[in-house]
Structure 1
Protein backbone atom coordinates (compact mmCIF):
# COMPACT_ATOMS: atom_id res chain seq x y z
CA UNK A 1 0.00 0.00 0.00
CA UNK A 2 2.79 2.42 0.91
CA UNK A 3 4.63 1.58 -2.31
CA UNK A 4 1.53 2.47 -4.36
CA UNK A 5 1.23 5.82 -2.59
CA UNK A 6 4.92 6.55 -3.19
CA UNK A 7 4.52 5.69 -6.88
CA UNK A 8 1.54 8.00 -7.22
CA UNK A 9 3.37 10.82 -5.42
CA UNK A 10 6.41 10.36 -7.66
CA UNK A 11 4.17 10.32 -10.74
CA UNK A 12 2.37 13.48 -9.58
CA UNK A 13 5.47 15.42 -8.72
CA UNK A 14 7.10 14.53 -12.03
CA UNK A 15 4.34 16.51 -13.78
CA UNK A 16 5.28 20.18 -13.95
CA UNK A 17 1.74 21.31 -13.14
CA UNK A 18 0.87 24.98 -13.19
CA UNK A 19 -0.85 26.61 -10.21
CA UNK A 20 -4.56 25.83 -9.83
CA UNK A 21 -6.70 28.96 -10.17
CA UNK A 22 -10.20 27.51 -9.75
CA UNK A 23 -11.70 24.38 -8.23
CA UNK A 24 -15.44 23.84 -8.49
CA UNK A 25 -17.39 20.90 -7.05
CA UNK A 26 -20.52 20.08 -9.04
CA UNK A 27 -21.82 17.37 -6.71
CA UNK A 28 -22.63 14.62 -7.33
CA UNK A 29 -21.43 14.57 -10.96
CA UNK A 30 -17.95 16.09 -11.33
CA UNK A 31 -15.28 18.59 -10.40
CA UNK A 32 -13.96 21.34 -12.63
CA UNK A 33 -10.47 22.78 -12.40
CA UNK A 34 -8.67 25.62 -14.10
CA UNK A 35 -4.92 26.17 -14.07
CA UNK A 36 -2.76 29.27 -14.54
CA UNK A 37 -1.69 28.11 -18.02
CA UNK A 38 -5.32 28.18 -19.21
CA UNK A 39 -5.91 24.42 -18.96
CA UNK A 40 -9.47 23.52 -17.93
CA UNK A 41 -10.63 20.07 -16.92
CA UNK A 42 -13.98 18.52 -16.02
CA UNK A 43 -13.43 15.19 -14.25
CA UNK A 44 -16.38 12.89 -13.58
CA UNK A 45 -17.06 11.25 -10.25
CA UNK A 46 -16.57 7.79 -11.78
CA UNK A 47 -13.22 8.76 -13.30
CA UNK A 48 -11.98 10.27 -10.03
CA UNK A 49 -13.18 7.24 -8.04
CA UNK A 50 -11.45 4.80 -10.38
CA UNK A 51 -8.21 6.79 -10.27
CA UNK A 52 -8.30 7.50 -6.54
CA UNK A 53 -4.77 7.86 -5.20
CA UNK A 54 -5.72 5.83 -2.10
CA UNK A 55 -5.47 2.10 -1.67
CA UNK A 56 -8.97 0.65 -1.65
CA UNK A 57 -10.36 -2.53 -0.14
CA UNK A 58 -12.98 -2.77 -2.91
CA UNK A 59 -10.44 -3.57 -5.61
CA UNK A 60 -10.30 -6.90 -7.40
CA UNK A 61 -6.81 -8.10 -8.22
CA UNK A 62 -6.06 -10.07 -11.39
CA UNK A 63 -2.50 -11.34 -11.51
CA UNK A 64 -1.26 -8.31 -9.59
CA UNK A 65 -3.30 -5.87 -11.70
CA UNK A 66 -5.66 -3.83 -9.48
CA UNK A 67 -9.08 -3.14 -11.01
CA UNK A 68 -11.89 -1.03 -9.59
CA UNK A 69 -15.21 -1.75 -11.30
CA UNK A 70 -18.93 -1.08 -10.93
CA UNK A 71 -18.57 2.64 -10.24
CA UNK A 72 -20.51 4.10 -13.20
CA UNK A 73 -23.09 5.80 -10.96
CA UNK A 74 -20.89 6.77 -8.01
CA UNK A 75 -21.38 10.34 -6.85
CA UNK A 76 -19.33 12.90 -5.02
CA UNK A 77 -20.75 13.90 -1.64
CA UNK A 78 -18.15 16.49 -0.66
CA UNK A 79 -14.67 17.83 -1.23
CA UNK A 80 -12.56 18.97 1.72
CA UNK A 81 -9.37 21.04 1.35
CA UNK A 82 -6.19 19.40 2.66
CA UNK A 83 -3.61 22.06 3.37
CA UNK A 84 -2.61 24.01 0.28
CA UNK A 85 -1.80 20.98 -1.81
CA UNK A 86 -5.07 19.24 -2.58
CA UNK A 87 -8.53 17.98 -1.79
CA UNK A 88 -10.02 14.92 -0.09
CA UNK A 89 -13.06 13.73 -2.02
CA UNK A 90 -15.83 11.82 -0.26
CA UNK A 91 -17.83 9.55 -2.56
CA UNK A 92 -21.31 8.14 -1.96
CA UNK A 93 -19.92 4.58 -1.91
CA UNK A 94 -18.25 5.78 1.35
CA UNK A 95 -14.75 5.90 -0.13
CA UNK A 96 -13.07 8.88 1.51
CA UNK A 97 -9.38 8.13 1.93
CA UNK A 98 -8.14 9.56 -1.35
CA UNK A 99 -6.32 12.88 -1.19
CA UNK A 100 -5.97 14.38 -4.66
CA UNK A 101 -3.01 16.78 -4.93
CA UNK A 102 -3.42 19.62 -7.45
CA UNK A 103 -0.70 18.16 -9.67
CA UNK A 104 -2.45 14.77 -9.69
CA UNK A 105 -5.67 16.47 -10.88
CA UNK A 106 -3.57 18.06 -13.63
CA UNK A 107 -2.15 14.66 -14.60
CA UNK A 108 -5.64 13.15 -14.67
CA UNK A 109 -7.07 15.99 -16.73
CA UNK A 110 -4.16 16.06 -19.17
CA UNK A 111 -4.43 12.30 -19.76
CA UNK A 112 -8.17 11.80 -19.24
CA UNK A 113 -8.97 10.18 -22.57
CA UNK A 114 -6.06 7.72 -22.64
CA UNK A 115 -6.59 6.82 -18.97
CA UNK A 116 -10.30 6.15 -19.54
CA UNK A 117 -9.59 4.16 -22.70
CA UNK A 118 -7.07 2.00 -20.80
CA UNK A 119 -9.55 1.55 -17.95
CA UNK A 120 -12.27 0.35 -20.34
CA UNK A 121 -9.81 -2.06 -22.01
CA UNK A 122 -8.84 -3.46 -18.60
CA UNK A 123 -12.50 -3.99 -17.64
CA UNK A 124 -13.15 -5.79 -20.93
CA UNK A 125 -10.02 -7.92 -20.54
CA UNK A 126 -11.26 -9.20 -17.17
CA UNK A 127 -14.95 -9.46 -18.08
CA UNK A 128 -15.95 -6.67 -15.69
CA UNK A 129 -18.40 -3.81 -16.05
CA UNK A 130 -18.63 -0.14 -15.13
CA UNK A 131 -22.16 -0.90 -13.89
CA UNK A 132 -22.68 -1.85 -10.23
CA UNK A 133 -23.34 -5.51 -9.45
CA UNK A 134 -27.01 -6.35 -9.06
CA UNK A 135 -28.15 -7.07 -5.54
CA UNK A 136 -29.61 -10.49 -4.87
Structure 2
Protein backbone atom coordinates (compact mmCIF):
# COMPACT_ATOMS: atom_id res chain seq x y z
CA UNK A 1 0.00 0.00 0.00
CA UNK A 2 1.31 3.45 -0.97
CA UNK A 3 1.78 6.08 1.67
CA UNK A 4 1.15 9.81 1.33
CA UNK A 5 4.90 10.26 0.87
CA UNK A 6 4.77 8.09 -2.28
CA UNK A 7 1.78 9.39 -4.23
CA UNK A 8 0.60 7.42 -7.26
CA UNK A 9 -1.26 9.00 -10.17
CA UNK A 10 -4.82 7.83 -10.66
CA UNK A 11 -5.28 9.89 -13.82
CA UNK A 12 -2.97 11.44 -16.44
CA UNK A 13 -4.46 13.62 -19.18
CA UNK A 14 -2.43 15.27 -21.94
CA UNK A 15 -4.17 18.49 -23.01
CA UNK A 16 -2.57 19.30 -26.36
CA UNK A 17 -4.36 22.60 -26.99
CA UNK A 18 -3.43 24.17 -23.65
CA UNK A 19 -0.08 22.29 -23.47
CA UNK A 20 -0.83 20.99 -19.98
CA UNK A 21 -0.35 17.58 -18.38
CA UNK A 22 -3.08 17.10 -15.78
CA UNK A 23 -2.08 14.66 -13.06
CA UNK A 24 -4.42 13.45 -10.31
CA UNK A 25 -2.91 11.50 -7.42
CA UNK A 26 -4.34 8.98 -4.99
CA UNK A 27 -3.76 11.57 -2.26
CA UNK A 28 -6.40 13.82 -3.84
CA UNK A 29 -3.80 16.25 -5.17
CA UNK A 30 -4.33 17.41 -8.75
CA UNK A 31 -1.73 19.37 -10.70
CA UNK A 32 -1.74 21.02 -14.11
CA UNK A 33 1.84 20.93 -15.34
CA UNK A 34 2.72 23.05 -18.37
CA UNK A 35 4.69 21.13 -20.99
CA UNK A 36 7.28 23.94 -21.00
CA UNK A 37 7.86 23.56 -17.25
CA UNK A 38 8.26 19.81 -17.66
CA UNK A 39 10.71 20.28 -20.54
CA UNK A 40 12.92 22.83 -18.80
CA UNK A 41 12.94 20.75 -15.60
CA UNK A 42 13.34 17.38 -17.30
CA UNK A 43 15.12 14.95 -14.97
CA UNK A 44 17.42 13.85 -17.81
CA UNK A 45 21.20 14.18 -17.74
CA UNK A 46 20.94 16.40 -20.83
CA UNK A 47 19.16 19.03 -18.69
CA UNK A 48 20.39 18.31 -15.16
CA UNK A 49 23.92 17.22 -15.96
CA UNK A 50 25.71 14.56 -13.95
CA UNK A 51 25.98 16.56 -10.75
CA UNK A 52 25.41 19.92 -9.06
CA UNK A 53 26.40 22.89 -11.18
CA UNK A 54 26.24 20.94 -14.45
CA UNK A 55 22.67 21.96 -15.33
CA UNK A 56 22.02 23.26 -18.84
CA UNK A 57 19.62 26.20 -19.09
CA UNK A 58 16.90 25.33 -21.59
CA UNK A 59 15.91 28.12 -23.98
CA UNK A 60 13.22 28.50 -26.62
CA UNK A 61 10.78 25.98 -25.13
CA UNK A 62 7.61 28.15 -25.03
CA UNK A 63 5.84 26.17 -27.76
CA UNK A 64 7.10 22.68 -26.89
CA UNK A 65 4.51 19.92 -27.06
CA UNK A 66 4.33 16.36 -25.82
CA UNK A 67 3.96 14.07 -28.82
CA UNK A 68 3.80 10.87 -26.77
CA UNK A 69 3.61 9.89 -23.12
CA UNK A 70 5.07 6.41 -22.67
CA UNK A 71 4.56 4.41 -19.45
CA UNK A 72 7.72 3.14 -17.75
CA UNK A 73 6.82 0.22 -15.51
CA UNK A 74 4.53 1.17 -12.65
CA UNK A 75 6.65 4.10 -11.48
CA UNK A 76 7.13 6.71 -14.23
CA UNK A 77 6.29 8.11 -17.65
CA UNK A 78 8.60 9.19 -20.46
CA UNK A 79 7.36 12.15 -22.46
CA UNK A 80 8.49 12.51 -26.04
CA UNK A 81 8.67 16.26 -26.63
CA UNK A 82 8.20 17.94 -29.99
CA UNK A 83 11.80 19.24 -29.92
CA UNK A 84 13.06 15.63 -29.94
CA UNK A 85 13.88 15.43 -26.22
CA UNK A 86 12.86 11.99 -24.94
CA UNK A 87 15.38 10.95 -22.30
CA UNK A 88 13.70 12.19 -19.13
CA UNK A 89 11.91 9.66 -16.92
CA UNK A 90 9.30 11.45 -14.81
CA UNK A 91 8.69 9.29 -11.75
CA UNK A 92 5.42 9.68 -9.84
CA UNK A 93 7.38 11.29 -7.01
CA UNK A 94 9.03 13.76 -9.41
CA UNK A 95 5.71 14.70 -11.06
CA UNK A 96 4.22 15.33 -7.61
CA UNK A 97 7.25 17.42 -6.62
CA UNK A 98 6.96 19.48 -9.84
CA UNK A 99 3.30 20.08 -9.09
CA UNK A 100 3.90 21.15 -5.50
CA UNK A 101 6.78 23.44 -6.44
CA UNK A 102 5.83 24.69 -9.88
CA UNK A 103 5.37 28.37 -8.97
CA UNK A 104 8.82 28.67 -7.36
CA UNK A 105 10.45 26.57 -10.07
CA UNK A 106 8.88 28.69 -12.79
CA UNK A 107 9.99 31.95 -11.15
CA UNK A 108 13.52 30.56 -10.73
CA UNK A 109 13.59 29.50 -14.38
CA UNK A 110 12.47 32.95 -15.58
CA UNK A 111 15.11 34.61 -13.40
CA UNK A 112 17.90 32.36 -14.71
CA UNK A 113 16.71 32.83 -18.30
CA UNK A 114 16.67 36.61 -17.87
CA UNK A 115 20.14 36.64 -16.26
CA UNK A 116 21.52 34.58 -19.15
CA UNK A 117 19.90 36.86 -21.74
CA UNK A 118 17.86 33.96 -23.14
CA UNK A 119 14.29 33.76 -24.36
CA UNK A 120 11.39 31.34 -24.09
CA UNK A 121 10.70 31.88 -27.79
CA UNK A 122 12.06 29.12 -30.03
CA UNK A 123 13.42 31.35 -32.83
CA UNK A 124 14.78 34.19 -30.71
CA UNK A 125 18.23 35.26 -31.95
CA UNK A 126 19.47 35.72 -28.37
CA UNK A 127 19.16 31.96 -27.81
CA UNK A 128 21.73 31.02 -30.45
CA UNK A 129 24.84 31.85 -28.37
CA UNK A 130 23.31 30.03 -25.37
CA UNK A 131 22.62 26.93 -27.44
CA UNK A 132 26.14 26.98 -28.90
CA UNK A 133 27.70 27.28 -25.42
CA UNK A 134 25.67 24.32 -24.24
CA UNK A 135 28.17 21.67 -25.30
CA UNK A 136 26.89 18.97 -22.99
CA UNK A 137 28.83 16.26 -21.25
CA UNK A 138 26.71 13.55 -22.84
CA UNK A 139 27.42 14.64 -26.41
CA UNK A 140 30.83 12.99 -26.40
CA UNK A 141 29.72 9.51 -25.35
| Superposition TM-score, scaled by structure 2 size | 0.75
How many aligned residue pairs are there? Answer: 117
Cα deviation, 1:6-60, whole Å, max 9, x if unaligned, reads xxxxxxxxx9232221111223612110112211001111111001111227x9x
Give SS of 2:123's match: coil
- Give the number of the structure whose alpha-carbon radius of gyration is greater: 2
Give SS of 2:56's match: strand
Stretches of 4+ moved more than 6 A in 1?
A: none
Q: For residues 107 and 120 of structure 1, do their structure 2 counterparts lie closer, same or farther at Cα, with a shift above 3 Å needed?
A: same
Which of 84, 91, 96 is equivalent to 2:86? 96
Structure-to-structure mapping, 1:15-34, within 5 angstroms: 16-27=5-16, 29-34=19-24
Bigger CA drift: 126-135 or 45-54? 126-135
Structure-to-structure mapping, 1:1-136, within 5 angstroms: 16-27=5-16, 29-56=19-46, 64-134=54-124
In 2, distance between residues paired with 1:65 and 1:99?
A: 16
| Superposition TM-score, scaled by structure 1 size | 0.78
Give the structure with the larger strand fraction: 1
CA-based RMSD of the aligned residues comes to 2.1
> Any gaps of 5 or more consecutive residues in structure 1?
1-14
> Any gaps of 5 or more consecutive residues in structure 2?
126-141
Give SS of 1:116's match: helix
